Structure 1
Amino acid sequence: MSTADLLGNAEPHGDTPTHPSMPAAKDSDEVRSLTRMAGWAGVAVFVLWLCQPILVGLLTGGGADDTPDMAALEANSWVGGFEAVVFSAIGVASLVMVLAVWRAMRLSGAADGVLASVGFAMGVVGASAWFWVAGHSLSMFTSVGAGLVDVSADSEIQAASLQASYLAVTAGLLVVGIGSIGWNALLATTGRRSGLIGRPLSVVFGVFAAIPLYQAAVPFAAPWPLVVAVLGSLILGIALLVRSRKRR
């Protein structure tokens, strides 16, 4: 299977001028620039996300408790700032990816329906949820979080309160996964029509749009929709980088 088969070929929408000085040529240059920008942003989302499991591995290797109290948090006070920076960076990269892809779709004339707009909006919501995760991750390491010691010196009560904060963080991550449903559906349909991706990848993103739904059907399951969202960003990023090279 050739690269063209995988990524798809852009399909012209109507009769457009082809002279380099004409608007169509300018749009083509902008689409190539947007595609490259979105590609690097998608790869960045995955690379930045890898910092989190690496961090968890380091803390686990250092003997960190799975249900820490305030004393455990104080022993690793740098974690809050680290996670806030990483999650905020993921949010920025995600927004760049979503907005650049949407702009490229608009220039191609494919993103002109209500359902496409809904998919875009869900992509923006999912990308923005990373800032919620960043804020909640940092909140436990602020003066307000430190006040938990004043509320109770009992380590079990502190651990229970921190567990509630972790639930709030997980809720933000699940919003990322829920937003990816509409975003991946947009890629599977409008992304294909705009020529940004090919038929095989449109099938992949169609499957990715369905996978997060299992969370509602399987109680107390691991939050895998997040992994699907991050992996989808990597696949899309690589595909768009290859596409931007083909457009030269």
Structure 2
Amino acid sequence: MKTTGNTILVTGGGSGIGRELAREFHALGNTVIVAGRTASSLEETIAGRDGMHARTLDVSDAADISRFAKALIADFPALNVLFNNAGIMVKEDWLADPVDLSVTEATVTTNILGPIRLTAALLPHLRAQPLARVVNVTSGLAYVPLAHAPAYSASKAALHAWTQSLRYQLRDTNVEVIELAPPGVRTGITPGQETRESYMPLEDFVAETMESFRIEDTPAEVCVQRAKMLRAAEASGNFDQIFKGLNDGYEG
């Protein structure tokens, strides 16, 4: 993928993977817009960096996506790369009586409908660019689910399937569709995750991921080495063993 001279939107750019990838791409000579719900976090991401911009967006709100997309295209007509990175991950208790579906419903709305709606809103503009990219951030849990976060795991599996379908439909256009599937990374997406020793340090994940994006013919699926075991679990015949190890050893 061309790593300089782009105008890139990164959702969920106020922290974690989104923040660090946005900064990396900005350092390579791209105009980068970070979007998210919390303006103060976005301002921290872009502080002191000319060519980085912050815009508020609630990807769980269809009306806000429509507003945001129209304003974004007007302000940044050269926009040619979309990173669908925003997402939430919350534990669920399916032994509760009754089961609280609020987390499930919020996860589906944010993690599935959010990127689908935003892509739909921006795709006509992206298709008009000489070269465009849509990067959907899924998870290694799309392939081996974490039983404590079933809606999150299911949402990433759905986004994986949708990404494959979108890539096929856009195969004869100038829009390339890439999936980025992280393993467990030390970010604040769940409480205490920043310090879990078994998770991949954020800086290591970003460095290895950027190696793939710097390849001119970027892989359709970008997986760091730690995520490849999960990606290959079914095909390798080790799914049951990996699933048990992942869930028995969960630290949350």
Same fold per superposition (TM over 0.5): no
Structure with a larger share of its residues in strand? 2
What is the TM-score when the length of structure 2 is the normalising length? Answer: 0.32
Structure with a larger share of its residues in helix? 1
Structure whose CA Rg is larger:
1
What is the TM-score when the length of structure 1 is the normalising length? Answer: 0.33
